[in-house]
Chains A and B, each alone.
Chain A
Amino acid sequence: MSINWYKYAAPSSFYFLAGKLIPFFTVLAVILLVAGLYIGFFVAPTDFQQGEAYRIIFIHVPAAWMSMFLYVVMAFWAGIGLAFNTRLSSMFATAIAPTGALFTFIALWTGAWWGKPMWGTWWVWDARLTSELILLFLYIGFMSLQAAIDDPRRADKAGAVIALVGVVNIPIIYFSVQWWNTLHQGASVSVMQSPKMATAMLVGMLVMVLAAWMYSIALILLRARNIILERESHTSWVAELKETTR
């Protein structure tokens, strides 16, 4: 059996595939969100050090992970688009950026509202916080640069360069808590060691991470469809949409 892998690299086929996938990921995101919030607020016990304030973790950690992960995925697709001149990969990078920026903002915001009661300050210029703020600026830089260039293909290429250079910031964020003395605590969960938290807390957090994944996929697909329509509006397949989808 042979599968034509190139079929879905064409924006027209991908447009229809994405339309079929969005409801699936939306339903998964809602189910996981409800389950995650239930575990987070009604199953997970009170923390012996931080009291109830630690419950911010159920959005802070998923948002922070997504902010870094989405950046790598965005740079990957932007790089593929730059190297192989594939339109859809560049559109994907453009579709990912706003969701990545949003999660970065949420990670910073919830971090501030967690830092205030625990550290006594909303913000410090510490390595972890500063590098995460730089990540937000990288996302904003990528989006504004693309918005400033009229020709979409040139915008893709310029954006790809920023995205690829910015990847160097990701390991800096990740290892900042080890490389420098920071106010931010070390990793609560890592592959090498057993997690330093109660099982219910960990499960709640991981369910919220999955919910954030499903949400991101659904929203990125939705935005990718918008971008495809914008850029392909002159093509015959878009003109034919009218007869097929109504």
Chain B
Amino acid sequence: MIWNSWSDFFNMGGYGLYVWGSYLVTFMCVIGEILIAKRRARTLRQQLSLTKESILRERKDEATS
């Protein structure tokens, strides 16, 4: 086993700041990217269900007129 304890693990042989500084920012970036893309997908679907209704309404209007 490489690590004797959790504090040993977090300390990273004295390089804790650099190792965790790298990993933390990387995971924040990755999670941020996922959330942005997912939110965009959700917004688009919400907007499109509106446009879809309007498309259907237009079609109905055309049919009745």
- Please give the residue numbers on chain A whose beta carbons come within 8 Å of chain B beta carbons, in ascending order: 41-42, 45-46, 51-53, 55-56, 59-60, 63, 98-99, 102, 105-106, 109-110, 113-114, 116-117, 215, 219, 222-223, 225-226, 229-230, 233, 238-239, 241-242
**Cross-chain contact B37 with A233 (CB below 8 angstroms):** no
**Cross-chain contact B15 with A51 (CB below 8 angstroms):** yes
Set of chain B residues within 8 Å of A105, measured between Cβ atoms: 29
| Tally of chain B residues near chain A (CB < 8 A) | 32
**Cross-chain contact A215 with B30 (CB below 8 angstroms):** yes
**Cross-chain contact B30 with A114 (CB below 8 angstroms):** no
A-B contacts, 13 listed (Cβ < 8 Å): A46-B13, A51-B14, A52-B13, A52-B15, A59-B22, A63-B26, A102-B29, A106-B29, A116-B18, A215-B30, A225-B41, A229-B45, A241-B52
**Cross-chain contact B44 with A59 (CB below 8 angstroms):** no
A127 to B55, CA, bound (A): 55
A26: nearest chain-B partner, CB-CB:
B34
Shortest C-beta distance, B57 to chain A (Å), equals 11
B48: nearest chain-A partner, CB-CB:
A233
**Cross-chain contact A102 with B13 (CB below 8 angstroms):** no
A51 to B48, CA, bound (A): 54
Asked whether A219 and B18 contact (CB < 8 A) given A45-B2, A110-B26, A242-B49, the answer is no
A115: nearest chain-B partner, CB-CB:
B18
Asked whether A56 and B19 contact (CB < 8 A) given A219-B34, A219-B37, A233-B51, the answer is yes
Asked whether A239 and B18 contact (CB < 8 A) given A219-B34, A229-B44, the answer is no
Which residues between 13 and 65 of chain B lie within 8 Å of chain A, taking CB atoms? 13-15, 18-19, 21-23, 25-26, 29-30, 33-34, 37-38, 40-41, 44-45, 47-49, 51-52, 55-56
A94 to B55, CA, bound (A): 28
B25: nearest chain-A partner, CB-CB:
A109
A43: nearest chain-B partner, CB-CB:
B2
**Cross-chain contact B19 with A53 (CB below 8 angstroms):** yes
**Cross-chain contact A59 with B26 (CB below 8 angstroms):** yes
Set of chain B residues within 8 Å of A52, measured between Cβ atoms: 12-15, 19
B47: nearest chain-A partner, CB-CB:
A233
**Cross-chain contact A222 with B37 (CB below 8 angstroms):** yes
A62: nearest chain-B partner, CB-CB:
B26
